Amino acid sequence: MTNPYKGSIRRAHRIKDEQGMKRSYLKASLAALGLVTLLAWLALIIVFYVAHQPWLAGVTLVLLGVATWIYISPRFYAWRYVVPGVMAAMIFIVLPMAYTLVIGFTNYSSSHLLPFQRSTEVLLNRTNSTGEGMAFTLHQDGNKYQFAFTSDDDKYYISEPSALNKEVRLKLQSVTTLPFAEDSALPLRKIIELEAPIKNVIAVTPEGNELRMSSMRRFSMMKPAFSRNADGTLTDNSSGKILKADMAGGYWKYPDGTNAEPGFRSYVGLDNYIQIFTEKRFLEPFGRVFTWTISFAALNTLFTFGIGILLATALNWDALKYRNFYRMMLFLPYAVPAFISIPVFRGLFNENLGEINMVLDMFFGVRPNWFSDATLARSMVLIVNTWLGYPYMMIISMGLIKAIPNELYEASALAGAGPLTNFFRITLPLIARPIAPLLIASFACNFNNLTLIALLTGGVPDYLDTSVPVGATDLLASYTYRIAFQDSGQNYALACAISSIVFLIVATLAIVNLRLFKVNSSNQ
């Protein structure tokens, strides 16, 4: 008797086999992906090490080892889903912030770009010409080149044919006459093309003197400009003066206090923070910018919330027709990216050709100096950012108002209350608590609104009584950016110190925000 379930059993086994094959393929694909990722990270570690970043390479290697152990060990199976997020937070948040904090304790700037060892090597590699030299011609021999030298006292020297690729030391041989035809020398155009590799050539005379290229037709005797002493100091070979490393100032210094360029990076402790709060040239602009930043963030949060909640209240009025159309139109400023809207407003507020000044001139006969007057420039910044930010507050307020029971408004209507009473006695008190964390978050976001200032005003109008670049509309973020990249000194360390202060302020606001959110959650 045949089994009626035989076909079903075969299909079940076939499906099971197919699922097993799919799982095997998936495991093999994940293993291959993991292997490729591992090799990529190992290559990155090698790149860090070759770039003379041993600490970064070591930390990356340790993190890679921990992540690999978690993924291959069954004991840490649950951690496999956490590792990507933790690694992303470490790479994109913790590491940049730590790097910024570290730079804030150094003198890193355009004058102190190199580490101490590299700065010392630059000085030791410098050479001075003694004025003695020889004219040269260059002759090509296949893929190699041969030099012919003529000294000032009509002595002749030739070199062996050599390729011009890396630094080459050519021993010169004294000859009575040059064994080359007059037309065999390469023209000046070819010498110019080969200038870079020719500069790597060191010609050594039979007497042991070293000559380097000093012009397109001449090699001159070069001597090291500096030499290292046994005690770690340097000697200026032209003057015989001793240079000592000033680790606090970041320069090799002569006995009279003159600095030898280039400077080097060094740790200066809290000097940058002390400069910010003690030196007048930094303290005054910092105080102005800090005050304006607080005012800007507070006023913008107030204006966006005020307009947003008023519009949300109006749009929740049941008797209002075409509410969906109004909602869509009022939402448009939030839908358009800021990097598009802000340049448009910059054109609208143009003092000469802007449409806003044209309209004001037509009706009132005035053309405000939006970018020249400090008060008007700040007003313009607030207007533009309020336009960009009110839709977010409007959407949040609409959602919170929807959650208020209608019975409260019905009871208020029976008591004879009007719209203003409903707004201030029912709507505003009930949404104040849940929206408070969002208002703090908005304040923190506006605190670091670099995009608005960079695209709209660039910080102008600038103050004329400060030595650092700062303007009336600069926020702390844009002020830091200008110190780091627009100031003549490009003081990266000072900018990082200011960034650290901003980070502490924003972190404090974040903690307050979390506390308020926790309180709201517990009360609900």
Query: What pLDDT was estimated at residue 6?
Result: 56
Q: 9-23, 384-398, 412-426 — which one is most confidently predicted on average? A: 384-398
Helix axes 374-402, 338-348, angle to 10 degrees: 140
CB 120 within 8 A of CB 263: no
DSSP single-letter state for residue 187: P
Query: What pLDDT was estimated at residue 153?
Result: 87
Query: What pLDDT was estimated at residue 270?
Result: 93
High-pLDDT (> 70) share of the chain, % = 95
Which is more confident, 374 or 523? 374
Per-residue pLDDT, averaged over 365-379, amounts to 95
Amino acid identity of residue 330, one-letter, is L
CB 382 within 8 A of CB 302: no
Q: Which tokens belong to 229?
A: 């002493």
Kindly state the helix (H) or strand (E) to which residue 156 belongs, with its residue range: strand 156-158
Q: Is the pLDDT of residue 244 over 60?
A: yes
Q: Is the pLDDT of residue 13 over 80?
A: no
| pLDDT tens column, 171-228 | 999 998 888 887 889 999 999 999 889 988 989 988 888 888 888 899 998 778 899 9
Other C-beta atoms closer than 10 Å to the C-beta of 371 total 19
Q: Is the pLDDT of residue 140 over 60?
A: yes
Residue 168 in 3-state DSSP?
Answer: strand
Per-residue pLDDT, averaged over 123-143, amounts to 86
- The Cα–Cα gap between 446 and 382 comes to 11
Phi then psi for residue 114, to 5 deg, are -90, 150
CB 173 within 8 A of CB 158: yes
Other C-beta atoms closer than 10 Å to the C-beta of 159 total 21
Q: Where do we find the tokens 């070069």?
A: 222
Q: Where do we find the tokens 């969906």?
A: 324
High-pLDDT (> 90) share of the chain, % = 50
User: What is the radius of gyration, based on Cα positions, of the chain?
Assistant: 36
Query: What pLDDT was estimated at residue 16?
Result: 67
| pLDDT tens column, 318-333 | 788 888 899 999 998 9
Q: Is the pLDDT of residue 2 over 70?
A: no
**Residue 350 class from Cβ within 10 Å (0-12 exposed, 13-18 middle, 19+ buried)?**
middle
Lowest mean pLDDT among 165-169, 287-291, 338-342, 380-384: 165-169
DSSP single-letter state for residue 162: B
Return the C-alpha torsion angle 414, 417, 421, 423, nearest 10.
Answer: 40
- The Cα–Cα gap between 160 and 158 comes to 7
One-letter-per-residue 3-state SS of 442-486: HHHHHHCCHHHHHHHCCCCCECCCCCCCCECCCCHHHHHHHHHHC
- The Cα–Cα gap between 505 and 501 comes to 6
| pLDDT tens column, 40-70 | 888 988 998 888 788 888 888 888 888 888 8
Q: Is the pLDDT of residue 436 over 90?
A: no
Cα–Cα–Cα angle for 305, 306, 310, rounded to 5 degrees: 110
Kindly state the helix (H) or strand (E) to which residue 137 belongs, with its residue range: strand 127-141
Omega prior to 419 cis, within 30 of 0: no
Q: Is the pLDDT of residue 165 over 80?
A: no
Q: Is the pLDDT of residue 12 over 60?
A: yes
The contacts of residue 217 (CB under 8 Å, 6+ apart) are 135, 136, 188, 191
- CA-to-CA dists, residue 424 to 125, 166, 294, 418, angstroms: 76, 80, 27, 10
List the 242-246 sheet strands across, edge first.
Answer: 226-228, 234-236, 242-246, 251-253, 259-260
Helices (H) then strands (E): counts for the chain: 19, 13
- Whose CA is closest to 422, among 409, 436, 434, 410? 409
CB 474 within 8 A of CB 288: no
Kindly state the helix (H) or strand (E) to which residue 316 belongs, with its residue range: none
| pLDDT tens column, 77-105 | 788 888 888 888 888 888 888 889 999 99
Checking DSSP bridges between strand 234-236 and strand 242-246, what pairing results, if any? antiparallel
**pTM of the entire predicted model:** 0.76
CB 454 within 8 A of CB 460: no
Q: Report all structural domains of the chain as residue ranges with CATH numbers, in order of start.
A: 18-103 (1.20.58.370), 127-224 (2.40.430.10), 275-523 (1.10.3720.10)
